[in-house]
Amino acid sequence: MSVPGPSSPDGALTRPPYCLEAGEPMPGLSDTSPDEGLIEDLTIEDKAVEQLAEGLLSHYLPDLQRSKQALQELTLD
């Protein structure tokens, strides 16, 4: 939903200067993919990855174990 901009002296609506018409490129953006060059810019800290993995496991593992147990109980009966 767009909001009309202020009207000009003759009563016609004008668009704000930051609005783009359809098909206009965004200023400062190129045709490159937003993730282009990501690998070169990415530094991986082993300790951070290890902490993240441990956190995810401690968060999700109990639910996964309960789900596995419930599934086993359902399939054995």
CB 5 within 8 A of CB 16: yes
pLDDT at position 13 is 59
The token pair at 68 is 């596995």
What does residue 7 show for φ and ψ, rounded to 5 degrees? -85, 150
pLDDT at position 20 is 57
User: CA quadruple 27, 1, 34, 23: dihedral positive or negative?
Assistant: negative
Average confidence (pLDDT) over 5-10: 57
CA distance 45 to 53: 12
pLDDT at position 60 is 96
pLDDT at position 17 is 55
Average confidence (pLDDT) over 50-77: 94
